[in-house]
Amino acid sequence: MGLLAPGANATLDKYLNTATLNSGAHGGPSSSNYWAENTVWRPIGYWFELWYHNSSNSYAGINSNSSMNPYSLPRHVWGYSQGYCRNNSVFTVSPVTCQVST
């Protein structure tokens, strides 16, 4: 996990980088921040989920999709949290990149 600073006003954390993700496995958690987007890039055709999770054990909007790439979970009011992505297909999927950004 590494924090990158693509610009003066944005921070991103690529918490899974061109990885292989087994069926049912998840990537993350990312580092904690006031993230505005959680995005996954993976081959189209595989069900993947994205969500955010915070220190009080609450989560925000788990969402699943198989037909969009990239696939993002924008957040507008969610607070300090960590991002997750998960392979909900029955296949091992590669390459998978998951990223949160402010």
Partner 1 sequence: MNVRRKVMILATSAAAVAGVAAALFFASSRGGASVAPYSFAPAHFAAVEAPATRVATLPPVVAKLSTSWGMDVPAANAVHRLGNGAAVAWVHAGRVCWASSNVAGCTDPARQAPIGIVLGETEQGQPYVEGLAVDGVRTVTITLRDGRTASASPAANFYHVVLPSDARPWNVASVAATYPGAPTYRQSISLTAPDAVPTK
- By CB under 8 A, name the binding residues for partner 1: 10, 12, 24, 26, 36-37, 39, 44, 47, 49-51, 53, 57-78, 84, 86, 88, 99, 101
Please report how close the Cβ of residue 63 comes to partner 1 at its closest, in angstroms.
Answer: 3
Task: Single out the residue of 30, 21, 66 nearest to residue 51, CA to CA.
Answer: 30
Please report how close the Cβ of residue 59 comes to partner 1 at its closest, in angstroms.
Answer: 5
Measured in whole angstroms, the distance separating CA 79 from the mean position of its chain's CA atoms is 16
Task: Single out the residue of 71, 64, 67 nearest to residue 41, CA to CA.
Answer: 71
Identify which of residues 74 and 95 has a Cβ nearer to partner 1 in the complex: 74
Residue 1 contacts residue 74 (beta carbons within 8 Å): no
Residue 48 contacts residue 97 (beta carbons within 8 Å): no
Please report how close the Cβ of residue 6 comes to partner 1 at its closest, in angstroms.
Answer: 8
Identify which of residues 11 and 20 has a Cβ nearer to partner 1 in the complex: 11
